[in-house]
Amino acid sequence: MEIFKVVGFAIISVILIVLLKEERKDIALVLMVVSGVIIMLFALSKITPIIDMLNTLINNSGISKDFLVIILKITGIAYIVEFGKNICIDAGQTAIATKLELAGKIIIVSLSLPLIASLVNVLTGLV
Amino acid sequence: MDIDLLFKIAGIGILVAVLNQVLTKAGREDQAMMTTLTGLIIVLMLVISQISNLFETVRTVFGL
Amino acid sequence: MKKNNTLHKLILIAVLVINLISNTTIYAEDLENESKEFTSQDITNEVSENFDIDSYIENINKYVSDTGIEGIDFEDIASSLVNSNKVDYKNIFIKLLSFFFKEIIGTLKGATSIFFVCIIMAILSNMELEKKSDITKIAYLACFAAIATISVASFIDVIASFRNVVSTLTTLMQVISPFLMSVLIATGSITSTGIIQPMLLFLASAIGFIVNYVVIPFFTISVALNVISSISENLKLDKMSRLFNSSAIWIVSILLTIFLGVLSLETSLTSSVDSLAVKTTQTAMSNFVPVVGKFFSDSFETVVGATKVVSRVGGTIGIISVIIVSIVPVIKILSVMVIYMVLSAFIEPLCSEESVVKYISSFANVYKNLLGILIGIIMLFVISTGIILNLVSSVVK
């Protein structure tokens, strides 16, 4: 089972990072980034069939695809921004982390503008 | 799951730390700094390909 | 003297010529052709012509087919009712069923889109990195906007069909009630008619008014409050939206109770007055008017009997048409409601974000209330028509 590989990998990388944190904090930081990247790559490779299934469902049932596309994009942005933010926090740079989060939020809102616009349209159609 | 990459980076890190200590104790501080920088650059080059791999995967999966 | 003779001859010849020229022939009266045989069918036909039942049936046919249900011919039902008192329920059932399935499939398609978006959002939200970090909150907001758009759009659709069905029902009542009133007058319930007719018309228009200006706005406000309170975490408007829901139901049920109570009271009171008056008139006529009194009172009873048949036909057709017209929206609202309930049950374990679960379940609540009100209004119309039909048969036994 691959989950064991992942957990083992994470444990090893944590040990190595703790080892190096004392001596060379920069290399430890790089180690953090790398291990995070590799684990995320693994997780993403497992997501692909799920997203394919969702796409097929939506296409077959004839609902407009735009919703799903926007929501997927927003989820992807959320993932990446979270990742970067956590690394910044772990490196001790919370200020940069906050700015990064701000940038992510603004991009998400700008992406979801059509959704919110259609919601407002529909709501005013109620009245 | 490249555990080898991890060990490579960790190995370079340990090597750089050791070399740093030795060279500092031996009094060649500039060389110590250069080895540190070199080690960092090598590690970064190893890592950047992984990071770009990650971003490319995210882009294709989420359609960004 | 000679001139007189010529004059006489001239006159004689003129008369003869005129007789020959003119074509008039003279018949003796044929008694057989004039005497008609009165069968009960003929009486019924004449009475129904008097009440203009054909145009009544035509009107009902037009309204029912306007709602899209084809193939139900009220004239057939009318003639079968008149002849044998049995209605071919199976045939109507089969036609209605085929129509239902079309409608249900159409509704299901629209409502399962919400299902999909909710499932997507549930799956995605379970894969988020941190539960309460701000980025994920914004992502939830966007997902929620999608869900809200789809569900509110389907809500608008349902409300439109609700409004349609109520206005069609009101129009049907306004077609049925003059017919029933004229039948009532013909069978002698004069007092009842004087009270019931304005009340029935007022009832029909009051229901239409209340639905348009009270019920629909209340439910709309409740849905809007629902959306707002689920989007924002600080603004809590759940109780207010529930208040609007319950008050809409309260108003409608109070109205229904008042109307039905007054109607049944009035009919029971006035029917006894009327039957007394009719019996008195009958007895007086048959006893005090010498020769033709008995003849008149007996023929009155015959006409009343025929009128009862006609009224029963007309009333039954009215009730059947009310039920047919209103069944389709009932099924539509019912299916949407069931889908929302199932959806909220499925979403609850999947999605950790409870505001979505609350949103969907209160939406299901709104639909449940809407359905209840619709069924209440239909029952009101059917029962009041039934009460009036009862009244017709109870005045002259």
Give the residue from chain A lying closest to B8, CA to CA.
A31
Residues 6+ apart with CB under 8 A from C131: C352
Half-sphere exposure of C186 (CA within 13 A, CB side): 21
Q: Which residue has the tokens 């950047």?
A: B48
Nearest to A75 among C124, C153, C223 (CB): C124
pLDDT tens, residue by residue, B13-61? 888 888 888 988 988 888 888 888 888 898 888 888 888 988 888 888 8
Is residue C369 within 8 Å of residue C245, measured between CB atoms?
yes
ipTM over 0.85: no
- For the stretch C310-360, pLDDT in tens is 777 777 777 777 777 777 777 777 777 777 787 778 777 776 667 777 888
CA distance A28 to A33: 9
- List the single residue in B with minimal CA-CA distance to A21: B13
Contact A105 C135 (CB under 8 A): yes
C-alpha span between A90 and A32 (Å, rounded): 9
The token duo for C300 is 């009155």
A12 CB-near residues (< 8 Å, 6+ apart): B3, B6
Domain coordinates in residue numbering, chain A: 1-46, 64-127
**What's the rounded mean pLDDT across residues C262-273?**
75
d(CA C86, CA C226): 49
- Alpha carbon of residue A120 to chain centroid: 28
In one letter, which amino acid is C269?
L
Closest CA to A50 of B61, C242, B56: B61
CB-CB neighbors (< 8 A) of B54 in chain A: 37, 40-41, 44
Q: What is the pLDDT of residues B1-12, one digit of tens each?
A: 678 888 888 888
Query: Pick the residue with more confidence: C227 or A102?
Result: A102
Query: Which chain A residues contact residue C145 at CB under 8 A?
Result: 112, 115-116, 118-119
Round to whole Å and give the CA distance between C282 and C199.
29
Most A CBs within 10 Å, among C108, C124, C150, C363, to test the A interface? C124
Domain residues of chain C, as ranges?
A: 70-395
B-C interface (Cβ pairs under 8 Å ≥ 3): no
Q: Which chains touch A (3 or more CB pairs under 8 A)?
A: B, C
**Beta-carbon-side half-sphere exposure of residue C388 (alpha carbons within 13 Å):** 32
Closest Cβ–Cβ partner in B1, B13, B40 for A9? B1
Read off the pLDDT band of C34 (50, 70, 90). very low
DSSP letter (8 states) at residue C98? H
Distance from CA of C229 to the nearest CA of A (A): 14
Q: Name A31's Cβ contacts closer than 8 Å, sequence gap at least 6.
A: A13, A16, A17, A20, B6, B9, B10, B13
φ and ψ of C217, to 5 deg: -60, -40
Query: Which pLDDT score is estimated for C331?
Result: 75
